[in-house]
């Protein structure tokens, strides 16, 4: 279902039981809302679920230019306002997890909880430089040029060696991402600066890390957990960056337990 919010059209999917607590899922960079299929199945009819393709991804519009986390957070608030969602749980991975932090810092009254997966809270110089390189590669050669390197970062070697079908799914998601959307969101990542303010988050939070995640290392996730008073930390091993796809059962157990303990 297409929804107009914050000046663009968003591809969304709504599932679950009418009247149940709302849960919103937010995808990683270069993925789309289908990355959450396994989590939606695990939540069943206990929740009313909103999935959306992040600005520049999937079936959502991909305007040119740099994006920011203020913009990505505003997109969520715009979607919630359009759908009449006053309050709910928010779950995001990587880019989506960073969006969760922005929501918690700016719109805590709209949240029952946040689940922040495989994310970071700041952009040091070496991180910004890394994204300059990826932006240049995509700008010159398109998304196909980064698929193999991305998959190597996103999954542990042992998992990838089995060539599970999920790798083809993720490969297709990366390939289908608009270069403008990838670059726009990469610019948002370069401006990430939430770390000094994390102590101001007072709502229930779950941090899920992958033990083998080189993109958003577990030590950084543990530091975020330690900064947020009412938070829990789960580390999945073995798992790299896209932990919900590499360890779906353990991920779902952690998520469903946390949501049940924090109904809002």
How would you class 19 by CB atoms within 10 Å of its CB: exposed for 0-12, middle for 13-18, buried for 19 or more?
Answer: exposed
pLDDT for the residue 74 = 99
Range of the domain at 133: 2-261
- pLDDT at residue 44, as a whole number: 86
Strand (E) or helix (H) holding 91? strand 88-93
Q: Is residue 40 within 8 Å of residue 51, measured between CB atoms?
A: yes
Q: Which residues of 103-142 are buried (b: 16+ CB within 10 A; e: fewer)?
A: bbeebeebbbbbbbbbbbbebeeeeeebbeebbeebeeee
Q: Are 110 and 80 in contact (CB under 8 A)?
A: yes
To 5 degrees, how large is the angle CA 162–CA 38–CA 62? 95
Tokens representing 82 are 């359009």
Q: Any alpha helices (H) in the chain, and if so which ranges? A: 37-43, 69-83, 95-106, 125-141, 147-154, 157-161, 165-176, 179-190, 218-227, 243-246, 248-261
pLDDT in tens, 161-182: 999 999 999 999 999 999 999 9
- Strand, helix or coil at 258? helix
- Say how many C-beta atoms besides its own lie within 10 A of residue 152's C-beta: 13
Q: Which uninterrupted H or E stretch holds 231? A: strand 231-236
Q: Among residues of the chain, what percentage have pLDDT more than 70?
A: 100
Q: What separation in angstroms does the CA of 4 have from each of 18, 67, 180, 181, 206?
A: 22, 18, 19, 17, 30
Q: Structural domain tally of the chain? A: 1
**At 221, which CATH number?**
3.40.50.1820
- Residue corresponding to tokens 């969101």: 185
Please answer whether residues 2 and 12 qualify as being in contact, where contact means their C-beta atoms are separated by less than 8 angstroms. Answer: yes
Q: Which two tokens stand for residue 175?
A: 């390939």
The span from the first CA to the last CA of the chain, in angstroms, equals 27
Provide the pLDDT for residue 264: 82
- Mapped onto helix, strand or coil, the DSSP state of residue 111 is strand
Q: 48-52 and 111-117: which strand pairing?
A: unpaired
Query: Per-residue pLDDT for the chain (264 aa), expressed as one digit of tens each?
Result: 999 999 999 999 999 999 999 999 999 999 999 999 999 999 988 999 999 999 999 999 999 999 999 999 999 999 999 999 999 999 999 999 999 999 999 999 999 999 999 999 999 999 999 999 999 999 999 999 999 999 999 999 999 999 999 999 999 999 999 999 999 999 999 999 999 999 999 999 999 999 999 999 999 999 999 999 999 999 999 999 999 999 999 999 999 999 999 998
**pTM of the full predicted structure?**
0.98
DSSP state of 201: -
């Amino acid at each position: 279902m297409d929804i107009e919010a914050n000046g663009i059209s968003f591809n969304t999917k709504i599932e679950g039981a009418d009247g149940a607590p709302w849960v919103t899922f937010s995808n990683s960079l270069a993925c789309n809302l289908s990355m959450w299929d396994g989590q939606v199945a695990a939540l069943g009819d206990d929740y009313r679920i909103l999935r959306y393709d992040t600005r520049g991804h999937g079936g959502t519009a991909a305007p040119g230019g740099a994006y920011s986390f203020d913009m990505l957070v505003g997109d969520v608030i715009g979607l919630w306002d359009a759908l009449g969602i006053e309050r709910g749980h928010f779950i995001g991975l990587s880019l989506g997890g960073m969006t969760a932090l922005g929501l918690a810092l700016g719109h805590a009254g709209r949240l029952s909880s946040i689940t922040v997966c495989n994310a970071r809270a700041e952009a040091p110089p070496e991180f910004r430089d890394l994204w300059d390189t990826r932006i240049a590669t995509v700008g010159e050669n398109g998304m196909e040029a980064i698929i193999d390197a991305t998959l190597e970062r996103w999954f542990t070697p042992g998992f990838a060696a089995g060539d599970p079908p999920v790798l083809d799914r993720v490969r297709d998601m990366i390939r289908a991402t608009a270069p403008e959307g990838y670059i726009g969101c990469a610019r948002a990542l370069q401006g990430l600066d939430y770390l000094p303010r994390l102590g101001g988050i007072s709502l229930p939070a779950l941090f899920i890390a992958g033990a083998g995640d080189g993109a958003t290392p577990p030590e950084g996730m543990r530091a975020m957990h330690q900064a947020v008073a009412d938070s829990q930390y789960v580390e999945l091993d073995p798992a790299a960056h896209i932990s919900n796809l590499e360890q779906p059962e353990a991920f779902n157990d952690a998520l469903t337990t946390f949501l049940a303990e924090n109904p809002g």
